[in-house]
């Protein structure tokens, strides 16, 4: 078991030869060496922030599990901050402030880093506004970049400095540093105003609709600013086959950018040669006042659809592969229906469970002629992620 000396400490690396990325062959030690190489940039995205540990203990081919609480057995130099949740429970979450702590987290099986938008010295008032651009199936990459540019314009016109990065997955992120003056509810409200204004400006491309069955194009996800949400940080490696990295960019780089160019192999060299485009972010904290004024001018948000969209549910499964297999079985029985479906009509939702993501699949039948729409059938897979939860106890904790 090798040790890495960093930040004046010895960080133990367990199972260094364990393959984390089967397609590329990258091991846990490769992952740790990557984070060591991009340490300054990675720390800039997480330093002082409580984080949820998303652990891939068997590599990316198996589902991760989420761990809010810092492991009880941890070095005395691992810092924590206590966050309280709506359930009435609290959790001491890991807070990384140096490279040794960061590598210790990665050694636990964390591929990407998932910090909250707050600092441990003030857990009530965020210092980041985060816009997550989430494309619906079939949406081309240029549409995502067009939405990012529009979000940039809205943020700049309302007094904030936007910072772009690839998500390392299908989407794109735009951040803004903000003064620590507003609670989570206000930050989320400001982010929702950004989303609705983007939708107003480019309605054929972007949507701010919260209900997935109403969405089209690129969803401007404002809910990542809610209290319990986290987003992968800058320089995080993502759990995808080619080990892509969520990479900070300059706005000059955004048009035509290829997210596949940023991987565990290429980003360290890029950072060493070009520096970190987000290095000065902390110097540009802005006010939410103008966005909150925009929110008031836009009026109430749209109400949820009431039975107007013909949805059926196909499966609730513990694992994504199991859910997709259930969808294929359903398609096999309804070939005549499938030919009418558009890519965005199949809704695959990753849902937060007690400690991991579970998957729900629904089908929107809006493009299927009414007389050919199948009824709701028994679910192909019916997984209950909350089996055994004492909901009365949860309610009592919330009342305290």
Domain coordinates in residue numbering, the chain? 3-121, 128-229+288-298, 311-393
pLDDT at 88: 78
Q: State the Cα–Cα distance between residues 147 and 202, nearest whole angstrom.
A: 8
Q: Which of 38, 86, 395, 50 is nearest to 243 (CA)?
A: 38
Q: For residue 218, what are the β-bridge partners?
A: 135, 206
Q: State the Cα–Cα distance between residues 288 and 181, nearest whole angstrom.
A: 9
Q: Which of 360, 327, 349, 319 is nearest to 215 (CA)?
A: 349
Contact in structure between 245 and 232 (CB atoms under 8 Å): no
Q: State the Cα–Cα distance between residues 175 and 251, nearest whole angstrom.
A: 12
Helix (H) or strand (E) holding 91: strand 90-95
Contact in structure between 214 and 207 (CB atoms under 8 Å): yes
Instruction: Output the six-digit token pair for 127.
Output: 């210092």
CATH architecture under which domain 128-229+288-298 falls = 2-Layer Sandwich (3.30)
Q: State the Cα–Cα distance between residues 161 and 180, nearest whole angstrom.
A: 15
To which CATH superfamily is domain 3-121 assigned?
DNA primase, PRIM domain (3.90.920.10)
Q: Specify the length of the chain in residues.
A: 400
Q: State the Cα–Cα distance between residues 167 and 360, nearest whole angstrom.
A: 23
What CA dihedral angle connects 8, 14, 19 and 25, to 10 degrees?
30
pTM of the predicted protein model? 0.87
- Mark the ranges of the chain whose per-residue pLDDT is less than 50: 391, 394-395, 398-399
State how far the alpha carbon of 302 is from the alpha carbons of 193, 260, 339, 374, 379, in Å: 12, 36, 31, 29, 30
Instruction: Identify the DSSP state of 71.
Output: P
Contact in structure between 176 and 155 (CB atoms under 8 Å): yes
Please state, as a whole number, how many other Cβ atoms lie within 10 Å of the Cβ of residue 295.
Answer: 20
pLDDT at 355: 66
Q: How far apart are the first and last CA of the chain?
A: 46
pLDDT at 394: 47
State how far the alpha carbon of 53 is from the alpha carbons of 81, 91, 179, in Å: 14, 12, 26
pLDDT at 125: 97
């Amino acid at each position: 078991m090798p040790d890495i000396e960093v930040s004046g400490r010895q960080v133990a690396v367990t199972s260094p030869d364990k393959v984390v990325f089967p397609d590329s062959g990258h091991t846990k030690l490769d992952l740790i060496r990557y984070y060591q190489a991009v340490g300054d940039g990675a720390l800039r995205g997480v330093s002082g922030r409580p984080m949820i540990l998303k652990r891939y203990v068997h590599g990316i081919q198996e589902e991760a599990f989420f761990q809010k609480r810092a492991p009880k057995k941890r070095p005395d130099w691992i810092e924590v901050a206590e966050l309280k949740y709506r359930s009435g429970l609290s959790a001491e979450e890991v807070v990384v402030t140096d490279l040794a702590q960061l590598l210790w987290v990665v050694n636990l099986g964390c591929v990407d880093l998932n910090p909250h938008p707050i600092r441990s010295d003030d857990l009530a008032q965020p210092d980041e506004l985060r816009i997550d651009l989430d494309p619906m199936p079939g949406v081309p990459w240029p549409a995502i970049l067009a939405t990012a540019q529009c979000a940039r314009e809205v943020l700049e016109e309302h007094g904030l400095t936007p910072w772009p990065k690839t998500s390392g997955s299908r989407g794109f992120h735009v951040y803004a540093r903000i003064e620590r003056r507003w609670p989570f509810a206000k930050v989320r409200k400001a982010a929702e105003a950004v989303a609705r204004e983007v939708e107003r400006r480019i309605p054929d491309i972007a949507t701010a609709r919260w209900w997935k069955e109403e969405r089209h194009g690129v969803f401007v996800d404002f809910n990542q600013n809610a209290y319990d949400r986290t987003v992968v940080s800058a320089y995080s490696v993502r759990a995808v086959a080619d080990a892509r990295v969520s990479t900070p960019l300059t706005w000059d780089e955004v048009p035509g950018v290829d997210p596949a160019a940023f991987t565990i192999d290429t980003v360290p060299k890029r950072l060493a040669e070009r520096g970190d485009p987000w290095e000065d972010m902390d110097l540009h904290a802005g006010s939410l006042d103008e966005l909150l004024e925009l929110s008031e001018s836009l009026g109430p948000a749209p109400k949820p659809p009431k039975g107007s969209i013909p949805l059926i549910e196909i499966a609730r499964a513990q694992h994504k592969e199991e859910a997709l297999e259930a969808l294929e079985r359903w398609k096999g029985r309804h070939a005549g229906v499938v030919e009418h479906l558009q890519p965005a009509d199949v809704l695959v939702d990753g849902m937060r469970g007690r400690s991991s993501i579970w998957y729900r699949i629904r089908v929107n039948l809006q493009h299927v002629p009414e007389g050919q729409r199948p009824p709701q059938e028994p679910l192909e897979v019916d997984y209950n992620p909350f089996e055994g939860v004492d909901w009365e106890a949860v309610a009592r904790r919330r009342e305290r």
